[in-house]
């Protein structure tokens, strides 16, 4: 029988009985050297058989023999004729090793930081002639090898030869890449080796950390431009080498505020690391809007390089500083005492909802004078232009008890309405060409505009673009003209004309003030900001609403006030916007702070008390306001780039509570108001408010709703957080 162990052959004529072997635990023990025999003897001594084995080996010497069959746990089986078997055994020399090429490993790892790895190669048997090993790398842009050939001879065939692999930095942000090194025997080699199959070493080259993309570097870490042509530069560069040309598109999210030049940049494999610049230019929008922001978006326009083509866009924010020229922003929503009027900027339709009866007012023509019996019901007042005992056209809208949801105004509204203004129960709309103002509501005196008992509306016309702003007070109003003068009409008691007179005089009146950039009207007082940033007020001063830090006792018929503009105290010279309601006034500075004065019984001055002030006090915790809004006992400011609204004053401030607050609280954004929605306009009525998001054409309201003023289709439930008015907004 022939047995094999360690490439040495043995044979003997007899084997132990099979029934005495445990096939799972048996093994043949062989040895051919004396020290191995001694080791074996020591092993067998552990099972008590060393004496017999020692005698056999003493006689036979160090001859390669089968000496024992062992299995566990029984022990070792030694046949009785072991000596005979040993004597008859024939020793065969081992066969020569087969030809082969041995690799120390078949995987390796390097990185683009030029780290290395290595493997070794040796032959398995002596060749009759030289053996040449070829080594090839399928991607030398990722890894290189130290040798392309290795030669083995009959004298060095058993020696190992080393191949070193080095990672290559390719400037691509390509993550870990795989490289294959092929080991093959050259055809010129020993014939016994040329038939061998090729072998492969797989190499992983880890990326050096380049980020795939592009960076936009701003001047002084920010981008800031000023209207009337101010510029700033933006430097753009790729962060890694592209496989093909990359075209970037650079756009402005608001071309009415800033433009970009050039609008595209192309980067190639040769100039990808060279920065290219674009210029951002501020646009003069002729709107006095303080600091504004315009997004600059950089995106991949096209690229054959799939990795770059898949990249998203990046954005930076450019600060647009106002030139303080032009007009104020248009008012898209305005509040009466218990109703709202708004312009749907997608259709140019004017909508209204709520109750516009003159509840509690004793002067002027009111809804209660209408002959339609249904109109006397609180909450069902008709919501279209009228001021007289005679109902105007489109009477199908009269007294239908549906005013708790927005419905369209009739055709008497001017074509393309663009701005609405409402105060208590008087309303005006300006058209988009800014040459027509149409008013209706509570106006008691005919001062030259055809306001008679048989007419429901009156219009003030001017040349195109002549009107910059429009404000309404108690039965009258004022328009800011394009030449920065002011024209007023209607009710002139308490010095509301601002020209030194009082009473009711037909025709337009011109207050003694010029270079006006913004107007505001309370109930019986008006204020203006002029181009040097100071504020001026005139009219009644019974609650310190003129803010001049003077009592003005007896200044007008009926008490404190001034029939001429007086300077607001405090020395503030960077006002850009002013708002008023009833006896409270607030103004916004170009650095985002808000200052208020006048009546403060509800904490509407926002400075933590309920004490009225005859000088400006700063509203607490607001430093980034963009717009301010003042209503009946409440004021608000759009902050955080208009993403948030803070309000203070009377109860139902929109923060989820019904409590008043003499310091600003943040309106809770709920019921579909998106996180990216901006507060583009806000109107504040009596214990209610509505916010308008122009981009999404949505109106959200909160507060008291007894007269349907929230536009929700009901007249009962007050809401402490914003609610969507629904269709058509």
pLDDT value at 407 more than 60? no
Q: Mention every residue, 6+ apart, whose C-beta is less than 8 A from residue 227.
A: 282, 283, 284, 285, 320, 321, 322, 323, 325
* H or E stretch covering 193: helix 191-194
pLDDT at 449: 42
Q: Given pLDDT bands bounded at 50, 70 and 90, which one contains residue 719? A: very high
Decide if 101-206 and 214-321 have a common fold: yes
pLDDT value at 159 more than 90? yes
Give just the sign of the alpha carbon dihedral 216, 217, 222, 227.
negative
The full length of the chain comes to: 729
pLDDT value at 18 more than 60? no
pLDDT at 442: 60
Instruction: Report which of residues 328 and 196 the model is more confident about.
Output: 196
pLDDT at 419: 84
Q: What is the pLDDT of residues 555-572, one digit of tens each?
A: 898 889 999 999 999 999
Q: What is the pLDDT of residues 244-267, one digit of tens each?
A: 889 999 999 888 889 999 999 999
pLDDT value at 403 more than 50? no
Instruction: Report which of residues 150 and 397 the model is more confident about.
Output: 150
pLDDT at 341: 84
Q: Domain boundaries in the chain?
A: 2-92, 101-206, 214-321
pLDDT at 405: 53
For residues 536-544, give the mean pLDDT. Answer: 96
Q: Given pLDDT bands bounded at 50, 70 and 90, which one contains residue 7? A: very low
pLDDT at 54: 47
Q: Mention every residue, 6+ apart, whose C-beta is less than 8 A from residue 23.
A: none
The backbone region for 441, taken as left when phi is positive above 0, alpha when psi lies in -120 to 50, beta otherwise, is: left
pLDDT at 553: 87
Strands (E), 558-693: 561-567, 575-581, 584-589, 594-598, 613-618, 627-630, 634-639, 644-649, 661-666, 681-684, 688-693
pLDDT value at 284 more than 60? yes
The CATH-assigned architecture of domain 214-321 is: Sandwich (2.60)
C-alpha 8/C-alpha 63 separation (Å) is: 12
Distances (CA, A) of 680 to 96, 256, 428, 626, 627: 92, 15, 20, 10, 9
pLDDT value at 57 more than 50? no
For residues 483-509, give the mean pLDDT. Answer: 86
Q: Given pLDDT bands bounded at 50, 70 and 90, which one contains residue 295? A: confident
Give just the sign of the alpha carbon dihedral 311, 315, 316, 321.
positive
For residues 470-483, give the mean pLDDT. Answer: 87
For residues 514-542, give the mean pLDDT. Answer: 95
pLDDT at 26: 34
Does the pTM surpass 0.85? The reply is no
Q: Given pLDDT bands bounded at 50, 70 and 90, which one contains residue 712? A: confident
Provide the CATH topology of domain 101-206: Immunoglobulin-like (2.60.40)
Q: What is the pLDDT of residues 97-111, one digit of tens each?
A: 899 999 999 998 888
Mean of the per-residue pLDDT values of the chain: 77
Q: Mention every residue, 6+ apart, whose C-beta is less than 8 A from residue 600.
A: 584, 609, 610, 611, 612, 613, 662
pLDDT value at 28 more than 90? no
pLDDT value at 638 more than 90? yes
Q: What is the pLDDT of residues 338-372, one digit of tens each?
A: 888 888 777 777 777 777 555 444 333 344 333 22
Percent of the chain scoring above 90 in pLDDT: 42
pLDDT value at 82 more than 60? no
Half-sphere exposure of 165 (CA within 13 A, CB side): 32
Q: Mention every residue, 6+ apart, whose C-beta is less than 8 A from residue 411.
A: 393, 394
Q: Given pLDDT bands bounded at 50, 70 and 90, which one contains residue 50? A: very low
pLDDT at 701: 93
């Amino acid at each position: 029988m022939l047995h094999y162990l360690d490439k040495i052959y043995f044979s003997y004529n007899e084997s132990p009985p099979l029934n005495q072997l445990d096939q799972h635990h048996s093994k043949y023990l062989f040895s051919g050297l004396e020290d191995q025999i001694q080791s074996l003897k020591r092993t067998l001594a552990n099972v008590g058989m060393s004496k017999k084995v020692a005698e056999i080996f003493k006689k036979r010497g160090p001859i390669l023999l089968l000496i024992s069959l062992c299995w566990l746990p029984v022990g070792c089986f030694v046949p009785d004729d072991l000596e005979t078997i040993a004597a008859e055994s024939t020793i065969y020399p081992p066969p020569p090793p087969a030809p082969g090429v041995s690799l120390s490993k078949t995987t390796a790892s390097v990185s683009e930081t030029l780290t290395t790895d290595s493997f070794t190669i040796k032959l398995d048997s002596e060749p009759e002639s030289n053996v040449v090993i070829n080594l090839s790398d399928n991607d030398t842009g990722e890894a290189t090898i130290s040798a392309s050939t290795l030669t083995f001879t009959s004298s060095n065939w058993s020696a190992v030869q080393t191949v070193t692999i080095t990672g290559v930095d390719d400037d691509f942000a390509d993550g870990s890449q795989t490289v294959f090194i092929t080991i093959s025997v050259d055809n010129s080699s020993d014939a016994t080796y040329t038939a061998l199959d090729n072998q492969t070493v797989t190499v992983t080259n880890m990326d050096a950390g380049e980020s795939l993309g592009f960076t936009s570097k701003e001047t002084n870490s920010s981008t800031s431009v000023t209207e009337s042509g101010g510029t700033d530069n933006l430097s753009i560069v790729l962060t890694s080498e592209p496989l093909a040309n990359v075209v970037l598109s650079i756009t402005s999210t608001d071309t009415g505020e800033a433009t970009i030049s050039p609008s595209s940049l192309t980067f190639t494999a040769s100039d990808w690391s060279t920065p290219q610049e674009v210029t951002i230019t501020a646009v003069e929008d002729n709107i006095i809007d303080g600091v504004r922001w315009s997004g600059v978006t950089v995106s991949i326009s096209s690229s054959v390089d799939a990795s770059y083509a898949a990249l998203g866009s990046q954005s930076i924010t450019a600060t647009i500083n106002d030139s303080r020229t032009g007009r104020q922003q248009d008012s898209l929503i305005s509040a009466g005492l218990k109703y709202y009027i708004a312009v749907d900027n997608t259709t140019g339709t004017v909508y209204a909802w709520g109750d516009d009866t003159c509840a509690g007012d004793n002067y002027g023509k009111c809804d209660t004078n209408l002959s339609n019996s249904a109109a006397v019901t609180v909450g069902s007042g008709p919501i279209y232009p009228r001021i007289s005992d005679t109902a105007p056209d489109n009477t199908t809208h009269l007294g239908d008890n549906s005013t708790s949801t927005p419905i369209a105004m009739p055709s008497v509204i001017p074509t393309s309405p663009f701005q609405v203004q409402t105060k208590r129960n008087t309303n005006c709309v300006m058209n988009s060409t800014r040459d027509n103002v149409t008013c209706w509501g509570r106006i008691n005196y005919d001062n030259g505009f055809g306001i008679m008992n048989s007419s429901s509306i009156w219009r003030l016309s001017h040349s195109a673009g002549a009107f910059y702003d429009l404000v309404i007070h108690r039965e009258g109003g004022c328009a800011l003209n394009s030449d920065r003068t002011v024209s007023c009409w209607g009710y002139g008691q308490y010095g509301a004309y601002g020209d030194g007179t009082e009473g009711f005089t037909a025709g337009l009146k011109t207050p003694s003030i010029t270079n006006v950039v913004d107007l505001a009207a309370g109930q019986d007082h008006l204020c203006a900001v002029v181009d040097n940033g100071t504020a001026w007020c005139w009219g009644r001063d019974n609650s310190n609403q003129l803010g001049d830090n003077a009592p003005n006792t007896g200044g007008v018929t009926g008490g404190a006030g001034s029939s001429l503009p007086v300077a607001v105290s405090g020395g503030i010279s960077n006002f850009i916007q002013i708002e008023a309601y009833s006896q409270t006034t607030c103004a916004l500075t170009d650095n985002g702070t808000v200052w208020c004065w006048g009546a403060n019984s509800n904490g509407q001055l926002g400075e933590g008390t309920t004490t009225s002030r005859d000088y400006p006090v700063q509203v607490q915790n607001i430093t980034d306001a963009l717009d301010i809004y003042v209503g009946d006992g409440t004021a608000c400011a759009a902050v955080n780039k208009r993403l948030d609204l803070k309000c203070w004053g009377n109860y139902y401030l929109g923060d989820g509570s019904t409590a008043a607050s003499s310091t600003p609280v943040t309106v809770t954004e709920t019921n579909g108001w998106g996180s990216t929605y901006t507060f583009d306009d806000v109107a504040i009525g009596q214990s209610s408010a509505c916010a308008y998001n122009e981009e999404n054409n949505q109106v959200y309201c909160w507060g008291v709703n007894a007269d349907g003023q929230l536009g929700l289709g009901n007249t009962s439930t007050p809401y402490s957080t914003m609610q969507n008015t629904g269709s058509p907004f």
